[in-house]
């Protein structure tokens, strides 16, 4: 049976197990859109308002589910808009497939309308970038792309689709059945050596990261850590993968790293690093460990051989996927050593970090987050973009084994709202709460229309302080009293959200928040709470004025 390239792509995605996709329509891939007409309820197309928002949704969907998030965009401007989601998926190690329309094959190389060389444009951003020149090869290339997206270090793959290839006929058969690929597993000898190294330690730490964990796998890591009384630290924005209520959990190594975590990692003698890439944020700017040969003996476990030794030479490297490694860890005897007090100090410091005084703000986010810790369901999904406001979901919320955090390692503003929508698409019955700054929110606030149309409305907590807070903080530290380009004039966010069909209200005081949040939870059409936040309350423990005065004092001549 002959079918055109667009129909074959959609049938291959169905065969691979895709059920959701995100995108913005374009004339360059009309044949794909036509094929999606017949797959409603099997492979749904979530219509987005900007390609950046669509790509963020696909990246978040991949991070949340472990299956590639699917995104369709048009050529040229559509692809460049979507690049932010590709970059975010790469930094998050999240599986994603971005399909991009392309000019006809007979026009390539002439700088035709909206023509881009996608191999060149995405070559250093994506895990793989490819163009399908022949419709007969669609099954082959889609199978390879899906495999690359989910294996090793998961990541995004970009697939360019020439317009005339999509309309050409082929008798190639679509892919049938999802891929079944086992993770690389550690050998018994490797596990025995790991056991000996941990058993000989004085100050061991387990450091983990990555988004492709299965819940039962992390539970096995937790069982081993608790049986061995070893402290556990999360890589930047992956604290949701481990039960924060465990006595072994000691915090997150990321932006704004607290001193107790920094000290623990610097003073550790053996670090079992599982499924993490050693990025800038989790290494405090590559200062916690010497490059390339750390003083700490690092046992690096990763599914990709390209990650082991990329920055730091491990004392011992194990190529194994996180879930296969956790299965091997399950049968490993606990290790014992003189580190119980070491672990306890780390845990005590983590718990003390939640102690806060009153904040100088109409709405006190310390008290708000403490309330949310108490009332949100066990399987809540929190999302955020980038800005100082992210300290609240990232540092002051304790994630249980069922809760999830969707937050970009790339530090991309505008991620939180699309990620929350994607979470609601993936899990329509779960509570999804997005934390957004006023600047961050306006990067992708138009996607509220996507939420309305898809019936995937989250609860949005908009922290409104009228400034680009992170940059203002840097200004006050380095150029005190010289404010430039960081003060915003904002719209009426309540009116804006209501125009998109959301329940919305302004919350002017801390005392008003609890009742307002209950109304938000009761809303069937999502909700936005516009929280009045003082610019002074820029960080939990230091005001904007204190930052300014400290910088001015440092500049005064002695």
| Residue 14 and residue 138 in contact, taking contact as beta carbons nearer than 8 Å | no
Query: How many helices (H) and strands (E) are present in the chain, helices listed first?
Result: 21, 20
| Residue 225 and residue 251 in contact, taking contact as beta carbons nearer than 8 Å | no
Classify residue 340 by burial, with Cβ atoms within 10 Å: 0-12, 13-18, 19+.
Answer: exposed
252 vs 8, 183, 209, 256, 339, CA distance in Å?
44, 26, 10, 9, 20
DSSP state of 106: G
Among candidate residues 161, 207, 210, 233, the one with its CA nearest the CA of residue 62: 210
For 226-252, what is each residue's pLDDT tens digit?
Answer: 999 999 999 999 999 999 999 999 999
558 residues of the chain, pLDDT tens digit each: 899 999 999 999 999 999 999 999 999 999 999 999 999 999 999 999 999 999 999 999 999 999 999 999 999 999 999 999 999 999 999 999 999 999 878 888 888 777 889 999 999 999 999 999 999 999 999 999 999 999 999 999 999 999 999 999 999 999 999 999 999 999 999 999 999 999 999 999 999 999 889 989 999 999 999 999 999 999 999 999 999 999 999 999 999 899 999 999 999 999 999 999 999 999 999 999 999 999 999 999 999 999 999 999 999 999 999 999 999 999 999 999 999 999 999 999 999 999 999 999 999 999 999 999 999 999 999 999 999 999 999 999 999 999 999 999 998 999 999 999 999 999 999 999 999 999 999 999 999 999 999 999 999 999 999 999 999 999 999 999 999 999 999 999 999 999 999 999 999 999 999 999 999 999 999 999 999 999 999 899 999 999 999 999 998 776
For 266-290, what is each residue's pLDDT tens digit?
Answer: 999 999 999 999 999 999 999 999 9
pLDDT score, position 558: 60
The fraction of the chain above a pLDDT of 90, given in percent, is: 94
For each of the domains in the chain, give its residue range(s) and CATH number, in order of start: 3-170 (3.40.50.970), 188-352 (3.40.50.1220), 365-555 (3.40.50.970)
| DSSP character string of 358-424 | --SSSS-HHHHHHHHHHHS-TT-EEEE-SSGGGHHHHHS----TT-EEE--TT--TT-HHHHHHHHH
CA 389 to CA 384: how far, in whole Å?
9
CA 416 to CA 322: how far, in whole Å?
26
CA 153 to CA 302: how far, in whole Å?
8
List 530's β-bridge partners, or say none. 462, 506
Q: Tell me whether the omega of the peptide bond preceding residue 509 falls within 30 degrees of 0, making it cis.
A: no
């Amino acid at each position: 049976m002959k079918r055109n390239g667009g129909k074959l792509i959609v049938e291959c995605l169905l065969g691979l197990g895709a059920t959701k996709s995100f995108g913005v329509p374009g004339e360059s891939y009309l044949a794909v859109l036509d094929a999606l007409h017949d797959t409603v309820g099997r492979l749904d197309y979530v219509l987005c308002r900007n390609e950046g928002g669509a790509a963020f949704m696909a990246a978040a969907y991949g991070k949340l589910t472990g299956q590639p998030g699917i995104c369709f965009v048009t050529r040229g401007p559509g692809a460049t808009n979507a690049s932010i989601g590709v970059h975010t998926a790469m930094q998050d190690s999240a599986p994603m497939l971005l399909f991009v329309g392309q000019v006809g094959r007979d026009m390539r190389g002439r700088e035709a309308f909206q023509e881009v060389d996608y191999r060149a444009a995405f070559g250093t951003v994506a895990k793989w970038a490819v163009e399908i020149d022949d419709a007969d090869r669609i099954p082959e290339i889609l199978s390879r792309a899906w495999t690359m997206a989910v294996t090793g270090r998961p990541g995004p793959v970009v697939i360019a689709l020439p317009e005339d290839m999509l309309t050409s006929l082929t008798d190639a058969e679509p892919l049938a059945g999802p891929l079944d690929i086992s993770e690389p597993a550690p050998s018994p000898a490797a596990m025995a050596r790991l056991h000996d190294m941990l058993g000989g330690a004085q100050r061991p730490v387990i450091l983990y990261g990555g988004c492709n964990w299965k819940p039962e796998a992390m539970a096995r890591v937790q069982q081993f850590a608790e049986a061995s009384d070893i402290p556990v630290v999360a890589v930047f924005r992956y604290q949701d993968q481990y039960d924060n209520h465990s006595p072994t959990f000691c915090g997150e190594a990321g932006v704004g790293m607290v001193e107790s975590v920094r000290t623990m990692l610097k003073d550790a003698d053996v670090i079992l690093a599982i499924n993490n890439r050693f990025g800038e944020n989790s290494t405090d700017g590559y200062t916690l460990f010497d490059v390339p040969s750390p003083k700490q003996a690092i046992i690096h476990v990763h599914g990709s051989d390209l990650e082991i030794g990329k920055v730091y030479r491990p004392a011992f490297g194990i190529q194994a996927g996180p879930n296969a490694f956790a299965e091997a860890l399950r049968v490993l005897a606990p290790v014992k050593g003189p580190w119980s007090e070491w672990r306890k100090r780390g845990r005590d410091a983590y718990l003390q970090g939640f102690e806060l005084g009153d904040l100088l703000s109409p709405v006190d986010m310390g008290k708000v987050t403490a309330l949310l810790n108490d009332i949100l369901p066990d399987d809540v999904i929190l999302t955020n973009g980038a800005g100082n406001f992210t300290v609240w979901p990232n540092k002051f919320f304790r994630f249980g084994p069922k809760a999830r955090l969707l937050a970009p390692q790339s530090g991309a503003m505008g991620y939180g709202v699309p990620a929350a929508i994607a979470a609601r698409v993936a899990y329509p019955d779960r509570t999804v709460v997005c934390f957004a700054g006023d600047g961050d929110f306006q990067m992708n606030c138009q996607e509220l229309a996507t939420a309305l149309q898809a019936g995937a409305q989250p609860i949005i907590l908009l922290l409104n302080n009228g400034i680009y807070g992170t940059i203002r903080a840097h200004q006050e530290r380095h150029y005190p009293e010289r404010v430039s380009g960081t003060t915003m004039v904002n719209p009426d966010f309540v009116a804006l959200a209501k125009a998109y069909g959301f329940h919305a209200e302004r919350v002017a005081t801390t005392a008003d928040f609890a009742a307002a949040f209950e109304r938000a939870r009761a809303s069937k059409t999502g909700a936005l709470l516009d929280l009045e936040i003082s610019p002074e309350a820029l960080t939990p423990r230091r005001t904007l004025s204190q930052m300014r005065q400290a910088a001015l004092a440092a500049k005064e001549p002695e």
